[in-house]
Structure 1
Amino acid sequence: MTEPASPHPVTVQLSAEDAADLQARVERGEFASLDEGVAAELAELNYRRAAEIVGGSEKLEALLDELDFDLIDPEEPVAGNISLSEMLTNLKAQAKAADE
């Protein structure tokens, strides 16, 4: 597998209210840093978009359950130094949280 390209720094502008909310979540320990918080929120947005594309979170979960990782090692880190297993676990947790 080829190494992913190094990410370029990105500037994100938030409203004062959203920035304060994110900082409060970091201070409560929900996230280790602002970067982690922004990344988590983007992951949530991507999950919601994927669910919308396939017709809902149940269909997305079914699709994720059908994925076959036999061709690659699911524990091998991919882009962002996260393994496919970790991504799948995160997506399933987000789906469960969305249904609650």
Structure 2
Amino acid sequence: MVTTQEHDASVYERVQESGEFQELKRRFRSWTFPMTVAFLVWYLLYVVLSGWARDFMAIKVLGNINVGLILGLLQFVSTFLIAWAYSRHAEKKLDPLADKLRHEVEEQSK
């Protein structure tokens, strides 16, 4: 006799091995990994400039606003832009496929 847990496990294993699930993982990784690397490089550049290019970071741009302050504020802006861009990417590329897979799992679990 197959228990409910065993049945659920086999359903999830089949979905995980499916081409659609693999495509969903590929789409997720193809966006998030490069964007994560880009953001980390951008962040580390800011940290390195703050530590070793103090004269550059201290250049006054407008009044008391210097390059360091502008780059620091751009860290926040870039974070929000990345979150917004990921939201759009997920809505267009990930959510439709994830919804389809979820419906398949729900049907097989009944």
Instruction: Give the TM bin, normalised by the shorter chain.
Output: 0.3 to 0.5
Work out which of the two has the higher radius of gyration on C-alpha atoms and give 1 or 2. 2
Give the TM-score normalised by the residue count of structure 2.
0.30
